[in-house]
Amino acid sequence: MNRRALHGALLEASGTAAGLAYGAIAALMVLDIAIRSLNLGTLAWLTELTEYLLYAATFVAAAWTLRQGAHVRVDMLVLKLGPARARPVQRATDAVGLAVAAVFVVFGGGAAWEAWRTGAVQYKAWATPEWLLLLPLPLAGLLLGVEFVLRLRGAPEAAPDFDPAKRASL
């Protein structure tokens, strides 16, 4: 498997993992309601786990969502320009996206490293090492960065034709 295919497989896995995380949240909540209804106690850690899963799933799947063309964008101007004139604009915005991804890698990675170095722990229902919580930030930055590089290099799989009708939204 070449590196681009590996990246693609990673993105697909991240999308599936995020979906499974939401499925797990639903299943655990139903279990918690059942346990509470039977006066058998409560899953005291569920709130904390749900919060972490919401955050981790969002960041881990951000690059996959980008590849799906599902990050909402205001594309009126780009659509008006036509494909030829829109291309340099698209490249410029991809470069800006790459810069944002780099910030997540450098500063998110830096924060995770600092947390690991100092042994910082977040105390809620669990005592969770903070570096573990911060890890999705540089990971997301890395995946997003590779995706934006592929877009800048014109890799066909990284830049699906944008279809305004398929914008994701609530």
Q: Which residues bind another protein (CB under 8 A)?
A: 15-16, 18-23, 25-26, 29-30, 33, 47, 50-52, 54-55, 57-59, 61-62, 64-66, 68, 70-78, 86, 89-90, 92-93, 96-97, 99-100, 103-104, 107-108, 110-111, 133-134, 136-137, 163-170
Q: Which is nearer to another protein, 57 or 142 (CB)?
A: 57
Q: How far apart are CA 111 and CA 98, in angstroms?
A: 19
Q: How far apart are CA 18 and CA 141, in angstroms?
A: 16
CB atoms within 10 A of CB 137: 21
Phi, psi (degrees; rounded to nearest 5) at 121 = -130, 140
CB atoms within 10 A of CB 61: 24
| Least distance between another protein and beta carbon 57 (Å) | 7
Q: Which is nearer to another protein, 23 or 154 (CB)?
A: 23
